Every structure is written in structure tokens, then in C-alpha cells.
A and B are shown apart, each in its own frame.
Chain A
Amino acid sequence: MRIEYFQLIDRILDLNMDEKTISVEAQVPKESTIFEGHFPGYPIMPGVLLIEAMAQTAGWLLLALMNFERMPFLAAVKEAKMRGFVTPGEVLTVEANLVHEGSGYAITDAKIKVAGKLRCNSTIMLTHVPFPNPDLRRHMDAMAERIGFPKQALLP
């Protein structure tokens, strides 16, 4: 996890195109300037970043389901629940599944677990559009490579 670059996902653990689910891993850094302020002497991962991790996970699922032809963007976060603190160094398993595929948008459910225990969950809506420019597409391809996206799972 590179918080300062908003790269919250380390690697993809599983992508199931039939079930429309994804599971990824993300380790919270042991040190970050964020923890100096959140909070002094009691560092915990900000809830908004946990929500972002769930949104990015849902985004990777949509990228896969749309064959990397469209780019998803966060549109709405519903019923986000922070069920327990996440602390520096912890390894997160982030899961997302597709709930509904609309026209130009999708609804997903996402959750974060630590050692099998649920820490937070939310329903996340994303809109998606054709890639606005080749630079962004190249960036996402590079990110996919970095996190071990299984390109073989995509349609030919």
C-alpha cells in the first residue's frame, strides 16, 4: 500500500469472472505521516482510506468485467460501517462483488477483513465511461501489472 500515491491495493488474490467477485490484499504501512496526525500516540487507518480501498477493489472488479474498455469512478458510498480499528502493519483482505450492472453504473458490495474478521463494509456505486485518454489507460495497464492482475481472465 502506497498511501501517498493513493495506491491502496498490493495484489490481487482472486478474480472470479463467473461469480463476479474479487479478493485483493493490502498491507497498511507500518509508518506514514498520516499516522502522525491520525492520531498522535494512537495510530489508526483513517476510515476514508478504508472506503477508498474498498472502492479501488470494486473498481478493479469492474475493469475486469468491462474488459479494460471503460474506466470506473467512485460515485456513491452507502452504509459504510467501520466495525473495528485498523492499525499500522495490518494485512487487509478486501473483497467486492457485483450487485447490479446498470447502464453506465454499477452497484457493488465490499468488505475488509483482517485475519478473517470483518473490519468494515459498504455498498459502493461506481459510474464508468470509456477511457478518457490513452495515458490513463496505460497507467491502469501498468497498475494492473504491478498488482498481478490476471489478464488471462479477460475475454480475448
Chain B
Amino acid sequence: MSSTFDQVATIIAETCDIPRDTITPDSHAIDDLGIDSLDFLDIAFAIDKAFGIKLPLEKWTQEVNDGKATTEQYFVLKNLCARIDELVAAKGAGAT
């Protein structure tokens, strides 16, 4: 079974036509990979489908706008993957 990062990197590469080997866990989706907000919605849709979750993009955006969080916390890929893992775990816990 591939890791969360491998799945997310593949989604980004296919959705945004970015060479897979340029995508690393330390890549910032916006600053390093140049993904804009509309393209990120496509990525969010693919992640939601692949992992059976709903990325809370509005909440994250609000936290960044309010200065309560940095974009790095959500859009550096290793951090994004950690959030995804948390959401998947929470979903699993909720199902039991």
C-alpha cells in the first residue's frame, strides 16, 4: 500500500501536470509548486475522493487569514499528509 505522500504526490502530478520527481515532502504546494487556489480545489476533490474525507479548506484558509496558522502548516506536503492521516483516523474512529 502506497504512503499518503505517494498518493498525494501522484494526485498533484496528474492534476497539475507537474513532474512527479520535483514533488517532495518538503514542497510547499503554493510557493514551490506554483499551485493556485483553483487548481488546489481539483487536488482537494481528488484527495477527498481517494481518502474518503473532506479537507476543511475553508477552516484552514480562515485560520491563515486570521494569523492563527501559517500556510506551511497546511500546504507543505508532509504537513498536508499529516492532516490527511488525522482526518482518515478521525473518520475511522467515528465509524466504530
Q: Measuring CB to CB, which residues of chain A are less than 8 angstroms from any residue of chain B?
A: 75-76, 100-105, 107, 125, 127
User: How far, in angstroms, from A100 to B59 measured CA to CA in the complex?
Assistant: 18
> Which size bracket describes the interface of B in this complex?
10 to 19
- Are B41 and A100 within 8 A (Cβ)? no
- A125→B41 contact, CB < 8 A: yes
Report how far A127 CA is from B36 CA in the complex, Å.
14
Closest to B56 in A: A103
List, in ascending order, chain A residues with CB within 8 A of B44's CB.
102-103, 105
B3 → chain A closest CB, angstroms: 23
Interface SS majority for chain A:
strand
Q: Interface on B for A, CB 8 Å cutoff?
A: 38, 41-42, 44-45, 48-49, 54-59, 61
Knowing A75-B38, A105-B44, A127-B41, the reply to whether A100 touches B49 (Cβ < 8 A) is yes
Could you tell me if A103 and B38 are in contact, using CB atoms closer than 8 angstroms?
no
For the complex with contacts A102-B45, A103-B54, A103-B55, 18 further pairs of A-B residues with Cβ separation under 8 Å are: A75-B41, A76-B42, A100-B45, A100-B48, A100-B49, A101-B54, A102-B41, A102-B44, A102-B54, A103-B44, A103-B56, A104-B57, A104-B58, A104-B61, A105-B57, A125-B42, A125-B45, A127-B41
- Cα of A103 to Cα of B62 in the assembled complex, Å: 12
CB distance from B63 to the nearest CB of A (A): 13
Residues of A within 8 A of B58 (CB): 103-104
Docked pose: A105 CA to B38 CA in angstroms: 10
Residues on B with C-beta less than 8 A from A105 are: 41, 44-45, 57
